Amino acid sequence: MITITICIGSSCYLKNSKDIISILERLITLHNVGDKVTLMGSFCMGHCTEGVCVKVGEERFSLSPANTEAFFNEHVLGGLQA
């Protein structure tokens, strides 16, 4: 089971954290991993100057809509296979 935590604090919200959530939801459905991947929202994680703040476990990523799919393939699907 993998939990992806997405910052929905105001700064990340303005950087389209909502779009990243929709992209992640679409990828989860597409790859049929809804029973293994959970999405959670979080308040500000204190890294507002970067991209949208996303965490998988304790590892932190900085996402934009453009790199979300690559992140998903590597760290989510990759993590499930590990």
Provide the binding-site residues for ligand FES, judged by CB under 6 A: 7, 9-12, 44-48, 53
Q: Which is nearer to ligand FES, 34 or 41 (CB)?
A: 41
Task: Identify whether the C-beta of residue 51 lies closer than 8 Å to the C-beta of residue 62.
Answer: yes
Q: Which is nearer to ligand FES, 31 or 55 (CB)?
A: 55
Q: Which is nearer to ligand FES, 55 or 75 (CB)?
A: 55
**63 vs 15: CA distance, rounded Å:** 9
| Inter-CA distances, 6 with 27, 31, 55, 58, Å | 15, 19, 7, 12
Closest contact distance (angstroms) between CB of 40 and ligand FES is 14
